[in-house]
Amino acid sequence: MAEAAQCIVRKNGFSDKIKIINKHSTDVTVGPDGDMQEKANLLITELFDTELIGEGALPSYEHAHHNLVQADCEAVPHRATVYAQVVESDLLWTWTQLQPVEVNGTRLVPPPAVGRCAGAHSVCDIQLSQVSPTSFTPLSPLCTMFSLDFSKLVSSAPQFHSSRFTAQSGGRAQVILSWWDLHMDPSGTIVCSMAPSWTYPLPKLAPWRDHWMQSVYFLPAESLVTAGDELSLTVCHDDYSLWYSLQPHRQQEVLSESPPPRPCCTCQAHLVWTRPRFGELNDRRRTESYAGALRSVLREDSVCLSISDGSLLPVFAHMLGAKKVFSLENTRMFKQVIEQVLEANSMRGEVELLEIRPDQLTSNDLRGEQISVLMGEPFFSTSLLPWHSLFFWYCR
């Protein structure tokens, strides 16, 4: 990138005015023999991601103010502000919690550990403009969570900020929708906003954002909210990521002494299933389609082999009456998650889980059984691109 920049500068005749320094900013030196002869009075950056601080903006700005710029410098962008809104959304909640499903008149329930788990710690970045407002119910107004003035010293130390609000609707507080905007100049006349299109009076005129999108954060556990409740929404951050918590405002003083820890998966399911994968597993129409397909081929003497990672198809096959079901699991973690599902539904041992790759499978692993039904989904943990799911045909 530095070489391309030097080429562009040279071809446009700016070599005597623009100096390209091929270093990370924290390695730049200032002084007579340094990369810069004096400290700068204008700091221009693009250090942001969908979560604002996820590309190391805070430590980079902190270092720059200590080492590279003058005390009265101006920064472009000048300021960033983070906004958040508490919502109830069955759609979004299915991206983080496994839901019960009925197959052949029997209810399959999620493992208790999954329901208690706070979920994955990473942000879910999506195009909120493509999520219909009918898919969620706002429980709070849009809250201003915190601002960063980049022309002043910025700290990368862990911090938290709270916003008090009165619940405008009752429901289950499940999800935080969040985005940010940039004031490019000190007066705030030039604003670059990441707000989704449905926040605009004329949504069709909203600018499309592709590199920077919006964020979805899942609360560690859903909580009931009544219209009129006085609540506090708290955002915590370290130097790279954000996380949220919601509590009654009367508990805010307790929170100030001990901010909520960063959520961490304790059930393993959130480590092996992505948010889209949770959504697939919770899609009732998808489940019904798979169950219908299995019904059309299963018989009482069917011996089934599943070759997709962390799939519920082998569980469905057992529930639909297959004689014997084997499932290949690519990793021990996938195997342990499916074991939890079987245990929670009193099916322990009913599906034989083999921690082995398809190309390593032998007749001894199948205990001499002859496979009559091979099943799988277009999902494998090693898939990076859509056509990688064609691995199913290779396995066959």
Please tell me whether residue 22 adopts helix, strand or coil conformation.
coil
User: Is cis: bond before 141, omega within 30 of 0?
Assistant: no
Q: Which of 200, 235, 230, 201 is nearest to 215 (CA)?
A: 235
Q: How far is it, in rounded angstroms, from Cα 379 to Cα 395?
A: 13
DSSP 390: G
CA angle, corner 13, sides to 7 and 15, nearest 5? 65
* Helix (H/G/I), strand (E/B), else coil: 32: coil
Q: How far is the C-alpha of 214 from the C-alpha of 129, rounded, in Å?
A: 9
Cβ pair 376, 325 in contact under 8 A: no
**Pairing state between β 324-328 and 303-306:** parallel
Task: State how far the Cα of 182 lies from the Cα of 59, in Å rounded to an integer.
Answer: 18
Which SS3 state, helix, strand or coil, does residue 206 take? Answer: coil
Active site positions, annotated: 46, 55
- Start-to-end CA distance of the chain, whole Å, equals 44
The answer to whether residues 234 and 246 touch, using CB atoms and an 8 Å cutoff, is yes
Backbone phi, psi, residue 342, to 5°: -65, -45
Phi, psi (degrees; rounded to nearest 5) at 222: -75, 150
How many Å apart are CA 383 and CA 392, to the nearest integer? 11
Distance CA 65, CA 154 (A): 8
Distance CA 308, CA 395 (A): 10
